[in-house]
Structure 1
Amino acid sequence: MNAFTREDLSVMQAWPLERKIQVTQARIMEWYFHYGGNVAVSFSGGKDSTVLLDLARRAFPNIPAVYVDTGLEYPEIRAFVKAVPNVTWLRPEMPFPKVIEQYGYPVVSKDVANRIYYARRGSEWAIRHLNGQNRDGTPSRYNERYMKWRYLLGAPFPISEYCCTVMKKRPLHRFVKEMGAMPIIGTMACESARRQSAYLITGCNAFQKKEPSSQPLSFWLEQDVLRYLQLTGLPYSPIYGEITEDGGRLVTTGAHRTGCMFCMFGVHLEKGQNRFQRMALSHPVQYDYCIGKLGCGRVLDYIHVPYAA
């Protein structure tokens, strides 16, 4: 049985920021005391985890943080993380070029890439989903969303969702196993259907999961994160630029998202200049490496996404 309904989540997402701060810190404290203080904040250097780390350290100033240095982050993110005290740097066992060679490129979304990966290996459920069918072969309103990506089965390059698992999740899991420090993560339910579903099942503190984790910002929205940064004056990575208002909403004048520079998940949905077109102007060295040497250009061509500035 789920801990929450979608209606519950909608109500919480509409709470004022002050209440969200109180509830989030309560969840952090619950997690901290449950594990006797042996916890750590997963810190990416992005705006969401910057807010999370600040909330955690307002309650527990000495709480440690861990950063996974994949080599794929913006230089401004890495420089910002270096300036934050008490952060342990972790590294993946496999570099990104090897990951895409062995597993595949991160294309479209984790769900789509997952189905392409397994359908190519003969998985019946993955093939069925790409055909828009239920288990019994009847049309599926849920699975029909995958049908338009069926053509990727013939793509002349490997595709999978494993990049994040290999580059980010495994180093963090290894740290948790070795140190016993239970992770606090800055993900939000509004970011994807996967994260929303996970939150509805467990709530913020997933004590009962095989690999327990806390996501105390789950019911926050991006506007809450920007408002928190604006109100507190908390330092954040300069990659985002200034926080300004546009049509009644807060926006950043720089990057809208950070994460891995070369990730292609969701790029087809971006309006105006997409992340690669902006990278061509702001980080030309990384752009040339990504588009040319890593082969992301041919992948973007295949899914009809422009990348020239």
Structure 2
Amino acid sequence: MAKHQTWELTQKQALPLDIKIRMTEQRIRDCYNHFGGDVYVSFSGGKDSTVLLDICRNLFPDILAVFVDTGLEYPEIREFVKTKENVTWLHPVSWNKHTRKYERTNFRNVIKEYGYPVISKEVSECIEGARKFIANNNGNYIYRMQQLDGTAKQKDGSPSAFNIPKWRFLIDAPFKISKNCCKLLKKSPFHSFEKETGKKPIVATMASESRLRKTSWLRNGCNAFEKKSPSSQPMSFWTDQDVLRYLLTYNIPYSSVYGEIVEQNGKLKTTKCDRTGCMFCMFGCH
């Protein structure tokens, strides 16, 4: 059962920044206290996690930040991360069947084995599943084929909101497609770190960024302590405008890859990159 309704998210997203900051601070305190301080800030060096780290360290100055060096970050992002204290750097690894050891891996190895990340995680997962259905007539993946055909239904018989027929042509793309890149290069190092240390993540994701993140917030709220992998997303109800306003208002240093923050037609924007992520990722390329 969902913890929240869509109207609650809309209401919270419309709140003034100062109130959002106080609400976020309370969620961070709740997370910190719930896990007895065994938490860390997932720090990508991007503007969202820069804001989160600032808020967290205003409350708990010694809180650890963790950065995954995938080899795909903008050089400006890596240099900015180096300016922060108390940051643990992680690197992607994979299991080598021949040496029977975990070894450093990279983007090239991942795309050769699994495929390219294309459009979005949802689309990539759908294409990968539909191809398995076509190749092996595997009924476990028939829903993915229906999504691409635009024929998937909801329980009441109406068309599914997750149908994506506009991307059906990617089934015939002359290369492998998969969402595994993000999982292997970014998520797995964090999960390994959590398993080794017992620390839980505080993450700067926002519901406004994608349908998946919105659905996750509606289901779990900001502090998802009951999940198999507990985490906190205390900025879930923030928007990109809030992030830029925070950086500007409190004069917070951020990566030069974004350029300057300026106002245009009543909205804040950056003069260079608006999102950073991985340089060679095809998510969002459309």
TM-score (norm 2): 0.91
Give the one of 106, 114, 128 matched to 1:95: 106
Shift of 1:95: 0.6
Aligned to 1:196: 214
Take 2:8 and 2:153, find their aligned partners in 1: how far apart are those partners?
30
Aligned to 1:273: none
Q: Which amino acid in the other structure matches residue 158 of structure 1?
A: K
In 2: Cα distance, 1:96 partner to 1:25 partner = 36
Contact 1:244 1:251 survives alignment (8 Å)? yes
Q: Once the 2 structures are TM-superposed, how far is the Cα of residue 162 of structure 1 from its aligned partner?
A: 1.0
Task: State percent identity of aligned pairs.
Answer: 55
- Asked if the contact 1:204–1:217 (Cα under 8 Å) also holds between the matched residues in 2, the reply is yes
- Residue 141 of structure 1: CA displacement? 4.5
Root-mean-square deviation (CA), in Å?
1.4
Aligned 8 A contact 2:153 2:160 in 1: no
CA deviation string 1:10-60 (max 9, x = no partner):
000000000000000000000000000010000000000000000000000
- TM superposition shift of 1:107: 0.7
> What does residue 43 of structure 1 align with?
43
Report the structure, 1 or 2, having the larger helix content. 1
Q: Which stretches of structure 1, 4 residues or longer, exceed 4 Å deviation after superposition?
A: none
Q: Distance in 2 between matches of 1:139 and 1:16?
A: 37
Deviations, residues 76-121 of structure 1 (Å, cap 9, x unaligned):
0000001100000000012101111111111111111101111111
Q: CA deviation at 1:255?
A: 0.9
Query: Structure 1 CA distance, aligned partners of 2:200 and 2:160?
Result: 38
Give 1:157's aligned amino acid: F
1:282 corresponds in structure 2 to none
Please list, as runs of the form range in 1=range in 2, the aligned pairs for 1:1-309 lying within 5 A after superposition.
1-93=1-93, 94-122=105-133, 123-134=141-152, 140-144=159-163, 146-268=164-286
- Kept in 2, the 8 Å contact 1:133–1:139? The answer is no
Preserved CA contact (<8 Å) 2:2 2:219: yes
Q: Count the aligned residue pairs.
A: 267
Unaligned runs of 5+ in 1: 269-309
Moved more, 121-130 or 201-210: 121-130
Give the Å deviation of 1:142.
2.1
Q: Distance in 1 between matches of 2:47 and 2:162?
A: 33
Taking the aligned partners of 1:20 and 1:228, their CA distance within structure 2 comes to 11
- TM-score normalized by the length of structure 1: 0.84
Q: Deviations over 1:247-281 (max 9, x none)?
A: 1111111111101011111121xxxxxxxxxxxxx
Q: Deviations over 1:107-146 (max 9, x none)?
A: 111111101111111121211211112369x7724244x1
Report SS of the residue matched to 1:121: helix
Which structure is higher in RCO with an 8 Å CA cutoff and minimum separation 6?
A: 2
Tell me if the contact between 1:133 and 1:143 (Cα under 8 Å) persists in the aligned partners: no
